[in-house]
Structure 1
Amino acid sequence: MSRMLTKSDYDRLKEEYEYRNTVKRHEIAKKKMEAAAFGDRSENAEYKAAKEEYYHNNRRLGQISRLLKNSVIIEKNRNSNEVDIGSEVCLKIGEEEIFKAKLVTTLNINVEEEDTEYISVDSPFGKALYKKHVGDMFDVMLPEDRNIKDVKIISIEN
């Protein structure tokens, strides 16, 4: 499954990959060697911590590698009539529900920012919303056969 990323997202991931694969890997190897010098590894907390950090770093390297391999770089369009990455949209769902959200790549969802709702461009809702215009109406089929019908775009702010 390909992920949509902006050029800056892609570059940021490449930078993290390079850092983890060189600097971070070297730091962890040094910690493991120093901790191993303390003796019995079965009861060596420093060695176990360094080993866990090593596994965590390798898992993250794998995640980044898959993201980079399976990503599609998209260009931001500044057309104010079109929903794009970074657009804040006001949607009317059904007859009455008004919903405001920001369309972002998966990497830019900030769960700590409580006052903003995010829609990932890779989600079914995000894919249906992407490149739509003010006044467009659409339906969204979500997982588990849940349907959201009659979604209308009220406004777009880029």
Structure 2
Amino acid sequence: MYLSSEGLKRLKEELEKKKGSRAEIAQKIQEAKALGDLSENAEYQEALATQSFNEGRIIELEEILRQAQVISERTNHKHEAVEISAQVKVESKFGNQQFTIVGSSEADPIKGFISNESPLGRAFIGRKSGQEVEVETPKGKVKYKILDIL
């Protein structure tokens, strides 16, 4: 699992926040228990579901952080080929676009951050400026020409 140092920091902060909310969730469970019959107690069921989700996310975050490999920060030099942390300027039938290749836990395609594990990310990795790649997308096959790698 690849992470930028910024991504690592965000996940550590989220983990601390999730761990910090344990006491509040436990308090809500106790308050809901005091309301009576647990089998038909919506507050109790909701508090248990919140606790389950929170604990699941804590486990997930701890595993991500355990496996994380921090990638080197981008510098002002141009990349020879597309790699994680590179910004890629491309041209396709949708016009010119720019993507940043990131690890899967930092991906946010709407903001232009694509995972190195996504079909588009895998197609770009290792390619150089001027090369073309064809990727199967939900909108059909799309050909991308790599214009620049930053």
Q: Sort the TM-score into its range (normalised by shorter chain).
A: 0.7 to 0.9
Question: Residue 104 of structure 1: CA displacement?
Answer: 3.9
Please, which of 122, 128, 144 is the counterpart of residue 117 of structure 2?
122
How many Å separate the matches in 1 of 2:35 and 2:94?
63
User: Is structure 2 residue 44 aligned with structure 1 residue 47?
Assistant: yes
RMSD between superposed Cα atoms in Å: 3.1
Distance 1:72 1:127, change over 3 A: farther
The answer on whether the counterparts of 2:73 and 2:85 sit within 8 Å (CA) in structure 1 is: yes
TM-score of the pair, normalised by structure 1:
0.70
How many Å separate the matches in 1 of 2:96 and 2:73?
23
The answer on whether the counterparts of 1:141 and 1:148 sit within 8 Å (CA) in structure 2 is: yes
Counterpart of 1:85 in structure 2 is 85
Q: How do 1:2-151 residues align onto structure 2 when only pairs under 5 Å count?
A: 3-21=1-19, 23-82=20-79, 83=82, 85=85, 87=87, 89-92=88-91, 100-105=97-102, 106-110=104-108, 113=110, 116-123=111-118, 125-127=120-122, 129-130=124-125, 133-135=128-130, 137=131
1:38 counterpart SS class: coil
Letter in 1 for 2:68: S
Letter in 1 for 2:114: I
How many Å separate the matches in 2 of 1:74 and 1:40?
52
Aligned length: 144
Letter in 2 for 1:91: V
Gaps of 5+ in 2: none
What is the CA deviation profile of residues 36-95 of structure 1, one whole-angstrom value per residue up to 9, with x for unaligned ones? 0111101111111100000110111121122112221101122442145262x22357xx
How many Å separate the matches in 2 of 1:97 and 1:32?
51
The answer on whether the counterparts of 1:124 and 1:140 sit within 8 Å (CA) in structure 2 is: no
The answer on whether the counterparts of 1:25 and 1:54 sit within 8 Å (CA) in structure 2 is: yes
How many Å separate the matches in 2 of 1:140 and 1:76?
28
How many Å separate the matches in 1 of 2:86 and 2:33?
48
Question: Residue 152 of structure 1: CA displacement?
Answer: 4.4
TM-score of the pair, normalised by structure 2:
0.74
How many Å separate the matches in 2 of 1:54 and 1:12?
21
Gaps of 5+ in 1: none
Letter in 1 for 2:89: C
The answer on whether the counterparts of 1:85 and 1:121 sit within 8 Å (CA) in structure 2 is: no
